[in-house]
Structure 1
Amino acid sequence: MLHEILLALSGHPSPLFEDGNLQQASKGITSGHQFPLLSPSERSLLRSIGELSELHRKLRNHIGQIASSHESTICRAVATAIQQVHLGRFQDKILAVEGKILTKDPSVVGAYDIVPLAGVVSEFEDWHRQMSWYWEMACFMQPIGMNSSNSSRSTGAALVDRLRSEQQTGFPDVEHAAIELNRVAETAWLRQLASWVLYGRLPAFGANDFCIRNSNSEAQASASFVKEKSLLPKFVSASTASSILFVGKSLNQVRRYGRQKKPSGPTTNQSISEGDLASVHLQQLTALSLPIVPAQLSRAISTIRLSLSRNVLQSLLPMQMILELLSCLKQFFLLERGEFAVTLISEADNRLHARQQSLGRLLQQDPVKALQGLSLKDAEFHQTLSQTWKTLAAQDEDVEDDIREFAQRHLTLSTPVDYDSRPSTSDSVYGAALSLSHIGFNDLLFPKAVSLGLDISPPLDLFISQKEIDVYASVNAYLLSLKRAHLRLSDLWRRTAARRDSSAARNISLLSLDARERMRKRRVTTRKFWATCSAATFLLSETTAYFEGEIARESWSHFEDWVKEPLLSDEPDISQTEASTSTSPAPSQRDPETLASGHRTFLASLTYALLLNDITYTKELRSLLGNVDSLIAFFNRLLEVQQKLDLERDASGETGYTLEEELRLSLELDRARKKVDSDLKSVVSRLRQLDQERIGSGRYLNASPGDSEFEPWKGGGVDRLLMKLEFGRMVEGGFDIV
């Protein structure tokens, strides 16, 4: 019987512990010849051994399946460690008990060479809890009945987090086992990490379980790496994960594009090869203690990132290239180059006017074809932008403009695309939240949503991402819509026919009494219109000047000075230490990830200062801009009808339709004017509320400490805009218009 017990504990099937016998023994049932000589206490002891042997057998089979088929190399490593080390210890324990029985050890063998069953059971008492815990971990890695293609299996990161939490259960044996298995799991994770951080390659095995993956298909030539937060262990902070993604993607681009450009600034060491640099970086990873301490991992990754920037990235992404990109963003997205905005608005209006005329003719010839061509195409947007570049080039034909040429190659004007919210190298972590209002301003330039875009190609994506370009596009549409409304309102004063009656050019004494009365009524009717237009023009002009001339310009100058500021690092370059080169610390540019982090902080503070994250304000402003367009459209149409009516009266042939049309348009114009008046009050009212809300620490966007080395510009404020608007307050009937 002892022989059967030891064999059963080793994982072999035994008739002693068959399902039927075990259940009857546990219930104290002895039918026929089944264990007639066993006492109830012995049956209970036998049941305890049977449960342990059955758990060992199931665990061994399940662990073997995980070690051979699990897609996570971390889970496979842990399963192999349980199978070979921990279950091997259990097998050694069985052999040790067998050795005691054979050598008649007094601790197991009693008088008359009798081996008490209770003594054998007590030898394995401590293994019940460990076996149950191993079985729980095995089921966590792969639940019972899950095949290799099932998505319910555990990831390596989840297993690491579970093992780290199991170290605090309070049981010393479980804690010791969890620490050992966690070392195995973290070692496997570090091997995956080393392949990415040292060479810029995804792990050869278990790449689907790694926190970095290629979002593009294998058929695509370019690689676009993204970070999967669900595959990151919890001990990896957000900033460390950003650096991991940045380092690996930088190495991938270095291998793909090589050092094609010479460095534009001083570098510390250009002689060290990439192989030697990888060897130096490997020492940083091998120096980590297990279990991994988050601060040590963050320090090691930061050291690798700085070393990579000083030795490689300054040649791949020099400061001149970054400044060229920033100049393009400042001049064309933030409208520092005002002629670009004015020309783009003018070209868009001309294209819409020509389109309306062509559609009018086409409606008379082929209505079906005309209706099919109502929607605007991206080709028309591209033509508008191309014509804008031609106009600007004609204005500066004798001047070479590198920034304009760069923008002409990379800028696009097209329908915005809904991208997946995927982080790239530079946007893998955001120190300051970029939560913009959902109110869009990109459907005012054209009657269809259209946005200015920028093609980001390597190595520029080490510094900026598509997500940030989308934010710039929102800011550009916001500022462009304000400038467009201001230009259209100002243009009304340039139209002579809008301010003078067509008959006024003749001698007033020759006009009939009816004509004089008609002119007087029109002047009285349009007096409120001109007052509203004047108030709206003042608000838009002051708002545009405040946003473009103060907020955007000053904050950008502050950020640009920070980017150009030479950095004298006190930290030695680890590659220099290993290469035994003695050079004094020299000023150098900040590494691309630090610049990208500062750029994200700047962009977040800029959108906050531009009030783009306030839903109420953007909603009221968007309503104002839309109603301004309606007001101008009704006024232009009314002006055309009045001129037509004057010609008919001069020819003594006015029609009733023209009179009705004039009356209808007058009513519509008055309604549109009242809507604009209401929107003006709502916008100013919201500005006053924001002035009361943004006080103290809420006056400026406060980024969390340590998120970025860049400190945003803190100037301006809603109170400054309100102070400017107070000078233009107009009162009508006791109510403020502005």
Structure 2
Amino acid sequence: MLHEVLLALSGHPSPLFSQEEQPLPDLLSPSEAALLQSIGRLAELHRQIRQHVQWIASHHKSIICRAVATTIRQTHLARFQQKIIDVESKILTKDASIVGAYDIVPLASVVGEFDEWHRRMSWLWDIACFMQPLSKSNSNPSTSGGCSGATLIDHLRREANTGFPDIEETAIALSKVAETAWLRQLASWLLYGKLPVSGTQDFFVVAEDAADGFRKDKQLLPGFVTAPTASSILFIGKSLHQARRLSHTAATLLPSAAPGTSETELAKLHLQHLSSLSLPLQPAQLSRAVSAIRLSLSQNVLQHLLPMQGTIRLLSCLRDYMLLGRGEFSLAVIGQVDTRLEARQQSMGRLLQQDPVKALQGLSIKDAELQQTLGQVWKALAQEDEAGEDDVLEFASKHMTLSVPKKGDSRPTTSDSINGSMPQMSPVAFNDLLFPSPTLLGLSVDSPLDLFISARESETYSSINAYLLAIRRAQVRLSDLWRRTAARRDHPSPSGRAGGAGTSQESKLRTKQRSRDARKVWATCSAAVFLISETSTYLEGEVIRESCDHFQRWVTTPGPIEDPDVSRASMQSDRSVDVAQRDPETLSAGHRSFLAALTYALLLTDVHFTRELRSLLGNLDALIAFFKSLLDLQQKLDLQHDAGSASRLSEDDERRVSVELDRARKKVDSDLKSVVNRLRQLDHERIGSARYLDVRPADSGGFEPWKGGGVDRLLMKLDFGRVDDEFDLV
């Protein structure tokens, strides 16, 4: 019977533990049957674990799970098999620790030899089922499901925190195996910029459809990898991928950066940092190794792919054109758009008479027409540049586009930042005010620009640009009303007689009534242009200017060496590390924090304010359109009165437009008060820590965004102009 027990423990079927035949237990005492039942459970666990881990090692989608399953089978189950052999050897050699008098081997002694394995084998079975659950219909492994490698690593780390030394030892041993397999995947990405050949779907870096597009999948990220470290890993791999793809550029620049070095030598140096890691991995230790590799890569490769001059030029382009730092650009865009829309209206009027169907088909704005408009803007700006050596203008003309947003695109909510703290932007859109249909001014992010700015950050800039351009457009259109002299002064009639359209009493009364009615409109327009102008001055002249100056000073200031060990991570070169620029990943992290703080300071994160402002801008367009239409009708009617051929139809049109104008004026009055009231609420809400966006320097590459005047500075100017809810605009 002892022979059968040992064979059953080894994983072979035995009639002692068969569920169908039970003749032997009749010959056993109750205590012996209980002992055999305990051994039977252990034998059954051994068989189940062996079969299950063998299936996992062959079919599981995760390489990490396969490595753990193989280790369980080749190491831990092998130890159990060795334990069986040791017990059998003691029996054969008649060891006194297990063989009693008269060569009797008590069954309790044999069972006692395996007491320590019951808990361990149950835990190994739980781990095997965690990696690949069993099917509900049968006891076979399920064809679907199964955990990822990151989930298994986190689970093993939690299981190591137990009061059982044997379980803790086994969990730590399996954790080392799992983390070793994960490090091998990581090495392929960190050293060569390549996704692992095996188990790509289990690695946290995922390739996107776009060229050179990679992103992080947080669900596949082990818990010991911090968010800054994960972003650095993603950045290093993307940079190596670009450097390899642009091998002709890297081959010409690398020798000048590090004489006598090559990509292979650089990879060997980086491999030393990964080899120095101890298992189980510690977050701080992994972070230091990744930082050393990042700094070495920056000093030897990336500073040549994206030098400081290229970074400054990109920042200047974003500031001058996306953030409207160059005032003539916004005026040129608004002027070209108005000219093109007027031409479309004239051609549309003629086409409606000839072919209405074709006219309706041409209402939508085409991308080609938008590009022509932007091209005219670049030509106008180039003509103003007498020297003709504006690198920023040339760069902007090549990389900026004006197009219709694709269907399904939404306003960016978060950036691919290291801490994921990009504030959520308001869903209120301002991109449909420049043209009748939504349009966006975008920046094409190509290699190697994406080392510094991502496509999602470019979308954020596009949203800020549409927001600022809508405010500037309203300011320009309102100011144009004061240039219409005929609207503010009563000129002599075409016949040359003084007194307006005529000298009759009726003409004088008509002119006086028009002047009285226009006072309310001019009062509303004055209040609106004051609010819009002060808001534009605050956003562009204070928030954007100071924030950009602060960020550019940080970019151009060399960063301090954090650790002597990190400085030695780079290849020895002739350059002095004291004047080395900040590495691109640090600059990118600082830029994300800068953009997040800027979005918050521009009030683009407040849904209520953007909704009230969007309503004001829309109603201002209606007010200006009705006002201009009324002025044109009045001028036409005066000519008819002067000629003595005034019609009832013209007078009815004048009254109808006057009524619509008065409605639009009241809406603008209401919106003005709503905008100011919301600003007052924001001033009370944004106090203390909420005054500025909380960005931790550790998560932003050491950059701390500019913290200047808040909403109260804008409110002081508006209060001085008495644009509040206690001031009667009319």
Deviations along 1:80-124, one digit per CA (max 9) or x if unpaired, are: 000000000110111111112212223322333222222222222
- Residue 712 (structure 1) aligned with residue 705 (structure 2): yes
Counterpart of 1:30? none
Deviation at residue 265 of structure 1 after TM alignment: 14
Deviates more, 1:154-163 or 1:112-121: 112-121
Question: How far does residue 420 in structure 1 lie from its aligned partner after superposition?
Answer: 9.3
**Aligned mate of 1:209, from 195, 199, 202:** 202
1:234 pairs with one of 223, 234, 245 = 223
Instruction: Give the aligned partner of residue 316 of structure 2.
Output: 327
Alignment correspondent of 1:563: 555
Change in 2 beyond 3 A, CA 1:230/1:518 = same
The CA distance in 2 between the partners of 1:230 and 1:698, in whole Å, is 31
CA offsets per residue over residues 323-373 of structure 1, 9 Å max, x none?
111111011011111111111111111222222222222222222222222
> Which amino acid counterpart does residue 304 of structure 1 have in structure 2?
I
1:703 alignment partner in structure 2: 695
- Residue 177 of structure 1 is matched in structure 2 by 170
Check conservation: 2:413, 2:424, Cα contact below 8 A. no
Q: Counterpart of 2:156?
A: 163
When structure 1 is superposed on structure 2, of 279-288 and 711-720 the one drifting more is 711-720
2:647 paired with 1:675: no
List aligned pairs for 1:519-598, cutoff 5 A: 519-569=511-561, 571-572=563-564, 585-598=577-590
1-side partners of 2:420 and 2:260: how far apart? 35
Quote the offset at 1:584 in angstroms. 6.1
- Whether 1:153 and 2:143 are equivalent positions in the alignment is no
TM-score by length of 2: 0.94
Matched, 1:447 2:440: no
Contact 1:4-1:14 within 8 A present in 2 as well = yes
Superposed displacement of residue 705, structure 1: 4.1
Matched, 1:382 2:371: yes
Residues 268 and 586, structure 1, Cα contact 8 Å, conserved in 2 = no
Identical positions, percent: 60
TM-fit CA distance, 1:259: 6.3
Is the counterpart of residue 79 in structure 1 residue 69 in structure 2? yes
In structure 2, relative to structure 1, the CA distance for the partners of 1:630 and 1:67 (3 Å cut) is same
- For residue 507 of structure 1, the aligned residue among 498, 503, 507 is 498
Contact persistence 2:411–2:459 (CA under 8 A): no
2:214 aligned residue: 225
Letter paired with 2:515:
R
Read off the aligned partner of 1:207 and give its amino acid letter: T
Letter in 2 for 1:158: T
Residue range with higher mean Cα deviation, 582-591 or 607-616: 582-591
Given candidates 638, 646, 665, the residue that maps to 2:657 is 665
CA distance 1:349–1:579, shift in 2 (3 Å) = closer
Seen in structure 2, the aligned counterparts of structure 1 residues 272 and 265 have a Cα distance that, compared at 3 Å, is closer
Work out whether residues 209 and 231 of structure 1, in 8 Å CA contact, stay in contact via their aligned partners in 2.
yes
Kindly tell me the number of residue pairs found equivalent between the two proteins: 722
Kept in 2, the 8 Å contact 1:344–1:388? The answer is: yes
In structure 2, runs of 5+ residues without a counterpart are: none
Tell me the distance in 1 between the aligned counterparts of 2:396 and 2:462.
14
- Residue 485 of structure 2 corresponds to which residue in structure 1? 496
Q: How many Å apart are 1:597 and its aligned residue?
A: 1.0
**Aligned residue in 2 for 1:258:** 247
Matched-pair contact (CA < 8 Å) for 1:621–1:679: yes
Give the corresponding residue for 1:28.
none
Cα separation, 1, equivalents of 2:50 and 2:411: 43
In 2, are the aligned partners of 1:245 and 1:428 still within 8 Å (CA)? no
Question: Paired residue for 1:343?
Answer: 332
Once the two structures are overlaid, the 10-residue window that deviates more, 570-579 or 545-554, is 570-579
Residue pairs, 1:383-532, within 5 angstroms: 383-396=372-385, 398-417=387-406, 418=408, 427-430=416-419, 432-501=421-490, 506-508=497-499, 511-532=503-524
Greater shift, 7-16 or 156-165, is seen at 7-16
Residues 490, 499 of structure 2: 8 Å contact kept: no
144-153 or 521-530, larger mean C-alpha shift: 144-153
Report the 3-state secondary structure (helix = DSSP H, G, I; strand = E; otherwise coil) of the residue aligned with 1:706: helix
After TM superposition, give the deviation of residue 293 of structure 1 in Å. Answer: 0.8
The alpha-carbon distance between structure 1 residues 133 and 266, as it changes in their structure 2 partners (threshold 3 A), is: same
Contact 1:265–1:588 at 8 Å: present in 2 too?
A: no
The structure-2 alpha-carbon separation of the partners of 1:676 and 1:265, relative to structure 1 and needing over 3 Å to count, comes to: farther
Q: 2:437, 2:458 → 1: CA distance? A: 20
Give, in whole Å, the separation in 1 of the partners of 2:96 and 2:411.
69
Equivalent of 1:142 in 115, 132, 148: 132
Supply the distance in 2 between the matched residues of 1:545 and 1:423 (Cα, whole angstroms).
26
Partner amino acid, structure 1, of 2:582: R
State the match for 1:644 in structure 2. Answer: 636
User: How far has the Cα of 1:256 moved from its partner?
Assistant: 1.2
Structure 1's 523 and 575: CA in aligned 2 closer, same or farther, altered over 3 A?
A: closer
How far residue 10 of structure 1 moved from its aligned partner, in angstroms, is 0.7
Equivalent in the alignment of 1:612? 604
CA distance in 2, matches of 1:264, 1:737: 65
Shift of 1:678: 0.9
Contact 2:292 2:569 in 1 (8 A): no
Kindly tell me: are residues 619 and 579 of structure 1, through their superposed partners in 2, closer, same or farther at Cα, counting changes over 3 Å?
A: closer
Cα deviation, 1:167-213, whole Å, max 9, x if unaligned, reads 01221111111000000001111111111111111111111111112
Aligned twin of 2:97: 107
> Contact between 2:697 and 2:703, CA under 8 Å: does it hold in 1?
no
Residue 602 and residue 582 in structure 1: after superposition, are their counterparts in 2 closer, same or farther (change >3 A)?
A: closer
| C-alpha contact (below 8 Å) 2:623/2:664 kept by paired residues | yes
Which of 186, 194, 198 is 2:179 aligned to? 186
Distance 1:692 1:84 in 2: 66
Aligned letter for 1:201? K
Report SS of the residue matched to 1:611.
coil
Amino acid at match of 2:477: R
Q: Give 2:121's aligned residue.
A: 131
| Structure 2 residue identity aligned to 1:83 | R
Contact kept, 8 Å, 1:263 with 1:315, in 2: the verdict is no
CA RMSD of aligned residues (A): 2.7
User: How big is the shift at 1:574?
Assistant: 6.1
- Deviation per CA, 1:33-60, whole angstroms, max 9, x where unpaired? 5543122322222222222111111111
Which residue identity does 2:715 align to in structure 1?
Answer: L
- Give the residue type in structure 2 aligned to 1:646: D
The 3 A distance-change label for structure 1 pair 483 and 575 is closer
> Is the CA contact (8 Å cut-off) linking 2:212 and 2:242 kept in structure 1?
no
CA distance in 1, matches of 2:259, 2:605: 45
**2:5 paired with 1:5:** yes
